[in-house]
Structure 1
């Protein structure tokens, strides 16, 4: 499903991708780099992140490592200052996530697990949007894509029990996406805010038997980052939605 994005669509743009050391986040970083963007790669493990960035650079892409433990709000809030020399950011992809205990139900999950999952899956995207979206709004140009999951949907395979901290945090991420998209005028102010349920992919979280590759999981994220801002009639592209396979799906 991987499709050519063109080597210059994002030339001169700066993108921040969390969870970029592996899986779908890495594939998003690689795709944005191939489209011409400078990609700032964020992940918790410095060694694994350095390996990922080295591979991206070896492939000729402009990538920067920015190690950060996204479960620590103070560290997340200081990222703009830490990355100030890179200038303004044009794209934000919130891809980092942790599943927690696969057997955690509401009455069994500990508060510590609840908080650790929410800190990465929901709180960090909130803080990063607060940090980087004002600049996008001032320039009337920007893309924010939150990588959600089918488990966070209120329809289909959504909140049907089990893995409670993860499911509820992803549902919250969906709500944050929709709410902020409306606050920014649904694209009329030049900022597009969307969520993607990539489908179960062959990553550390999805497992080796998942039906999709990590690159296939990243495809819709990359498309949202590079699609035209306007429709043929001049109206803004549809935004504030949940996407899968480049199609809108129910929340």
Structure 2
């Protein structure tokens, strides 16, 4: 990957494993300083050690994203590094895989929503204003096919997860329109990476975590303008670098 992100700071949640780790590694290879966020400090330290050994300028910022108070204090913890220009909301939890709407407990509903939807909302509120002021920034939300209103999307089962990811899709599209669809220098997109071999996708998934990270990295590094000078398309749901229906 070309070093197109030299001097930039990227924050990646869920960076201790799976797709989040691959995103952090890819952004590091592109030259970014990567703030790695995850709940488990020990596992996060191991991931950051490995990233640094591979040449990435990585910083560990442990945070339990299910706790709003801790999320809102995260910017203070990394303020000395400078302003975040790339935000990748990659952390996600499924909850009980057998949960349906009438079976899910409220505590499960809230815990899944807290990580998959509330934390991205709070982090966007924390870091996007500076991106808009600089007229330069990328927000990429890692969603899922289960959150789509088409295809396999919200067709029943795993209710807290599906609904939270559908909400993340709605947040992506709504915020992209609020910020002018790239005309103010901020690009906001979602990625459905497909089922990957991660803790969430399982060992028999058809895709690797690196394959799941590819479109995220592309969105973080692609040119902001098209050949005719108009902003790159944004406010969309992507898979394999192609737009797919919400």
Alignment of 1:147-158 (within 5 A): 147-158=142-153
Q: TM-score, normalised by structure 1?
A: 0.98
Report the counterpart of residue 129 of structure 2 in structure 1. 134
Q: Which runs of 5+ in 1 are unaligned?
A: none
Report the counterpart of residue 53 of structure 2 in structure 1. 58
Distance, in Å, in 2 between the alignment partners of 1:95 and 1:61 is 18
Tell me the C-alpha RMSD between the 2 structures: 0.3
Report the counterpart of residue 236 of structure 1 in structure 2. 231
Distance, in Å, in 1 between the alignment partners of 2:163 and 2:239 is 19
Aligned residue for 1:78, secondary structure, equals helix
Could you give the per-residue CA deviations for residues 174-211 of structure 1, whole angstroms, max 9, x where no partner exists? Answer: 00000000010000000000000000000000000000
Pairwise CA distance, 1:65: 0.1
Identify which range, 78-87 or 42-51, moves more after superposition: 78-87
Could you give the per-residue CA deviations for residues 197-236 of structure 1, whole angstroms, max 9, x where no partner exists? Answer: 0000000000000000000000000000000000010000
Equivalent residue for 2:62, pick from 55, 62, 67: 67
Structure 1 ranges of 4+ moved more than 2 A: none
Distance, in Å, in 2 between the alignment partners of 1:222 and 1:60 is 17
Equivalent residue for 2:197, pick from 190, 198, 202: 202
Equivalent residue for 2:6, pick from 11, 15, 27: 11
The number of equivalent residue pairs is 246
Alignment of 1:75-90 (within 5 A): 75-90=70-85
**1:171 lines up with 2:181 in the alignment:** no
Distance, in Å, in 2 between the alignment partners of 1:205 and 1:88 is 31
**1:218 lines up with 2:213 in the alignment:** yes
**1:160 lines up with 2:172 in the alignment:** no
Pairwise CA distance, 1:108: 0.2
Could you give the per-residue CA deviations for residues 106-139 of structure 1, whole angstroms, max 9, x where no partner exists? Answer: 0000000000000000000000000000000000
Distance, in Å, in 2 between the alignment partners of 1:30 and 1:146 is 17
Pairwise CA distance, 1:82: 1.0
Distance, in Å, in 1 between the alignment partners of 2:205 and 2:130 is 38
Aligned residue for 1:212, secondary structure, equals coil
Q: Which runs of 5+ in 2 are unaligned?
A: none
Equivalent residue for 1:38, pick from 33, 36, 40: 33
